[in-house]
Structure 1
Amino acid sequence: MAVERPDKPGRRPNARLRALLAEAGWSNEQCARAVNAVGAEIGLVLRYDRTSVAHWLSGTQPKPPVPQLVAETLSRRLGRVMTPVAAGFAQPAGAAELPRPRTSSHAAAVRALGSLAGRDADPVERAALAGEPYRALGAPPPWSGGRAGLRGAARRELARVGGAEVDLLRGAVRHFAAAMDVHGGGHARPALAHYLADTATTWLHAPGEDRVHRQLGTQSAYLVFILARMHSDMGCHGIAQRYLYLALDLAREAHDRVAWAISLRALAAQALHLDHRRTALQYAQAAVDALPAQVGDAVRAFALAQLAVTHAALGERGAALASLDRAEEHGRRAGVGDPFGDYPSGALSFQKAEVHRELGDLRAAARALQRSTRERPAHDRRGLALTLARRAELLLRSGRVGEACEVWTQFLDAGGGLRSHSVVTAVRTMRGCLEPLSRHPSARALLERERLLG
């Protein structure tokens, strides 16, 4: 990214940013490196250096999302929430603070959902939202339960909602969850955002019994969770995080501890993916702790598997294997249900492989990945592709170049047509692994095939 140049001769030096850098103990170069790293978390390739920061200090206004990125780097360094304005930048147009699960009412949660999903449904606004940074927030929020009387926001002109609307939202959950598995996160994002902004929020505002509104809130939380997964799959982690906090809001207002725990589990997985390991552990443990005693085995296995992977990433072998054993025990007893009542064995085997990979047991990881490949349902094209990619990486690390190339060939077949940044990243990883081995016939052939496909 090019360095911004001054556009107004009368600009004022950014004294706020200078004072914050002094408080942080950062040089211009250290600040630039931190901004580049935070940008990389949301897929931005930035090349700022000390000269760039010098321009900001002199009063140059960088283009969005750079002010938000600078604010996030300072928040992490100083241990308190910073905004672009607090860092001496102009308020970016349309910018909004990250929703936290403390909205004052059901009505406020629904308004926040309508506002964010409405912006996300617009192509121009969606591009701006994609540049929002992931925010290192620290400890997870405690479960506080919902409030009674969810009908206070109802508008009289709206039709009364009931079981039919709940069933329609359940059907939408199944539809969009399947679309994510079959086509990747980039396929149905606009449609789901529009559905949430229009249909779901209308029903959440409409008059109806509290029981119905709680059910609508739960299904809406699941739809928001799916939309967050879609954004994460496309590398847009800042907006995904915002949606997951809205899912927490909706789950709390619906009195639904299961939906709350599932959203915490997703926040844990996202934090771990971005290498915020201690934060990931806090959220993964909070997800397990939040589950009610009567929750189904599939959901408990889902939460415990993420906790196991997180312990393994921190090198906590005993805790990782203990959590994995519990996850597998619950997984064996789990039945088949809807997308949020079933934890497919192929997904659990993948998490088992991640535990063993983090702990350095590549053989056990490879066996678990082979099992995951066999167990993936036919419709889960994205899951199968990413499993094959991981398996090929492990085979190559074990020196089995020919076998790795065979599995990567299967990966390219499975991933064809998917709109998924995760799959694109796996292709780049494959290329990076094979280019030093281009003299090997299988590697050379695979690189040529990938070049033609690309």
Structure 2
Amino acid sequence: MYSGRVAFHSAGYTLPALRWFTAPDPAPITQPGRNAVGQPEIDTIRAMTGTYRQLDNQYGGGHARDTVARYLHQEVTPLLTNGRFDHPTGQQLLNAAAELAQLAGWQAYDTAHHGIAQRYLTLALDFAHAAADDGLGAEILAAMSHQATYLGHTTAGLDLARAAGQTAHRAGLPVLAAEAHVMQAHALAKANDERACATALHHAEQTLDRADRSTDPQWLSYFDEAYLSAKFGHCFHALGRNTHAERFATRSLRMNDRFVRGKAFNLALLANIHAHQGQPDRACAIGAQALTLTTQLRSARAVRYLRDLQTQLAPHRRLPAVRHFTGRINATLGPRR
């Protein structure tokens, strides 16, 4: 299990991404271990991963992060190292392990353990390669891009998003290609390349419109119109196009309520946009909704979005609404350091 403080390095994703494209096709996966592994064990891993993913969306990455890591290392890894299985079973086992490792990485990212997240996402990509699963590989590369762009490494974020796009095309999954376009757009917006960002957003919208969602893997169910609208909102907000950003951020709130963390993010985004537009009262009213949801979460990202809002509202600190709201933030999240 990864523990302690591990530093994130954007270059740390270069070799895994290169290896994803250049490594030879994986050898047949068979293992003559002591303990027989079959469909029941694989179904259990998938069911556990699905449950942990629901908890992650509802309560944030910090809620079950240690439990997921323990399950991966103490229950799943021994099946990979000591199990007995044929090639089809081995592929499914590695695929299930890749999904679980990706979730462990995503939870570490959400709780600001970025170096640990990097290690888990790299492990997940290695598992996906061994399982010869391009679809899951594209999703993991997109997650790597998401993290890199969030941390300000826009060049790495863009490169990883392009790698995700090429892999999605290879997998024949248009919805993953749409996701990759969105990740490219976000990195381009952060780099202030408005024209290229607009092109990427256009491709994302077109690609998603053409996608047949009936065969989507379960782990891709979050990627819908509300998620796409949120990413459009983030892109336009980063570019200073706040009228467009407001429209998409508002649309993003037409979402499934089980994605509590996502709703907290989208409310904070809309509140930030109103603050940028010189509408502190509206920003506080919507920010208060985001704060209420954030109190239910263990998510460093949700806290960061509220702290960013607090910064945007600082010029209006004398207004009663702002003074009351920022007081609530400090009372709930602790004084700002």
TM-score after normalising by structure 1: 0.68
Aligned pair in 2 of structure 1 residues 293, 260: CA closer, same or farther (>3 Å)?
closer
Amino acid in the other structure paired with 2:6: E
Name the structure 2 match of 1:350: 230
Deviation at 1:358, TM superposition (A): 2.7
Aligned pair in 2 of structure 1 residues 428, 355: CA closer, same or farther (>3 Å)?
closer
Higher mean C-alpha deviation, range 406-415 or range 315-324? 315-324
State the alpha-carbon separation in 2 of the partners of residues 178 and 448 from structure 1.
Answer: 32
Deviation at 1:177, TM superposition (A): 1.3
State the alpha-carbon separation in 1 of the partners of residues 24 and 282 from structure 2.
Answer: 52
Encode CA deviations 1:47-106: one digit per residue, 9 max, x unaligned.
xxxxxxxxxxxxxxxxxxxxxxxxxxxxxxxxxxxxxxxxxxxxxxxxxxxxxxxxxxxx
Question: Retained in 2: the 8 A contact 1:299–1:340?
Answer: no
Out of 273, 291, 299, the position equivalent to 1:412 is 291
Name the structure 2 match of 1:53: none
State the alpha-carbon separation in 1 of the partners of residues 107 and 171 from structure 2.
Answer: 30
Out of 36, 41, 48, the position equivalent to 1:172 is 48
Name the structure 1 match of 2:87: 210
Encode CA deviations 1:22-65: one digit per residue, 9 max, x unaligned.
xxxxxxxxxxxxxxxxxxxxxxxxxxxxxxxxxxxxxxxxxxxx
User: Does residue 332 of structure 2 align to residue 453 of structure 1?
Assistant: yes
User: Does residue 300 of structure 2 align to residue 421 of structure 1?
Assistant: yes
Name the structure 1 match of 2:7: 133
Which of structures 1 and 2 has the bigger CA Rg? 1
Out of 180, 198, 206, the position equivalent to 1:329 is 206
State the alpha-carbon separation in 1 of the partners of residues 203 and 122 from structure 2.
Answer: 27
In the TM superposition, 1:267-286 aligns within 5 A as 267-286=144-163
Question: Retained in 1: the 8 A contact 2:168–2:174?
Answer: no
Gaps of 5+ in 2: none
3-state secondary structure, aligned to 2:52: helix
TM-score after normalising by structure 2: 0.90
Deviation at 1:334, TM superposition (A): 4.6
Name the structure 1 match of 2:173: 296
State the alpha-carbon separation in 1 of the partners of residues 141 and 61 from structure 2.
Answer: 20
- The two structures, once aligned, show a CA RMSD in angstroms of 1.9
Aligned pair in 2 of structure 1 residues 194, 133: CA closer, same or farther (>3 Å)?
same
State the alpha-carbon separation in 1 of the partners of residues 73 and 171 from structure 2.
Answer: 33
Name the structure 2 match of 1:399: 278
Question: Retained in 2: the 8 A contact 1:145–1:253?
Answer: no
User: Does residue 109 of structure 2 align to residue 232 of structure 1?
Assistant: yes
Aligned pair in 2 of structure 1 residues 330, 404: CA closer, same or farther (>3 Å)?
same
State the alpha-carbon separation in 2 of the partners of residues 307 and 334 from structure 1.
Answer: 22
User: Does residue 146 of structure 2 align to residue 264 of structure 1?
Assistant: no
State the alpha-carbon separation in 1 of the partners of residues 314 and 190 from structure 2.
Answer: 28
Name the structure 1 match of 2:100: 223
State the alpha-carbon separation in 1 of the partners of residues 316 and 212 from structure 2.
Answer: 44
3-state secondary structure, aligned to 1:207: strand
Encode CA deviations 1:256-296: one digit per residue, 9 max, x unaligned.
11122211111112111121111221111111012244533
Encode CA deviations 1:207-253: one digit per residue, 9 max, x unaligned.
11211111111121111111111111111111111111111110111
Out of 193, 196, 212, the position equivalent to 2:72 is 196
Identity of aligned pairs, percent?
Answer: 27
State the alpha-carbon separation in 1 of the partners of residues 218 and 52 from structure 2.
Answer: 10
User: Does residue 258 of structure 2 align to residue 382 of structure 1?
Assistant: no
Larger relative contact order (CA 8 Å, sep ≥ 6): 2
Deviation at 1:432, TM superposition (A): 2.7
User: Does residue 60 of structure 2 align to residue 181 of structure 1?
Assistant: no
Question: Retained in 2: the 8 A contact 1:257–1:292?
Answer: no
3-state secondary structure, aligned to 1:340: helix
State the alpha-carbon separation in 2 of the partners of residues 168 and 326 from structure 1.
Answer: 38
Aligned pair in 2 of structure 1 residues 415, 334: CA closer, same or farther (>3 Å)?
farther
How many aligned residue pairs are there?
324
Amino acid in the other structure paired with 2:68: L
Aligned pair in 2 of structure 1 residues 190, 146: CA closer, same or farther (>3 Å)?
farther
Amino acid in the other structure paired with 1:202: P
Name the structure 1 match of 2:246: 366
Amino acid in the other structure paired with 1:196: L
State the alpha-carbon separation in 1 of the partners of residues 94 and 135 from structure 2.
Answer: 12
Deviation at 1:203, TM superposition (A): 2.4
State the alpha-carbon separation in 2 of the partners of residues 324 and 224 from structure 1.
Answer: 29
Question: Retained in 2: the 8 A contact 1:177–1:339?
Answer: no
State the alpha-carbon separation in 2 of the partners of residues 359 and 315 from structure 1.
Answer: 6
State the alpha-carbon separation in 1 of the partners of residues 120 and 94 from structure 2.
Answer: 14
Encode CA deviations 1:125-175: one digit per residue, 9 max, x unaligned.
x2x2xx1111131743142354222224x42x21x2222222222212211
3-state secondary structure, aligned to 2:85: coil
Amino acid in the other structure paired with 1:236: H
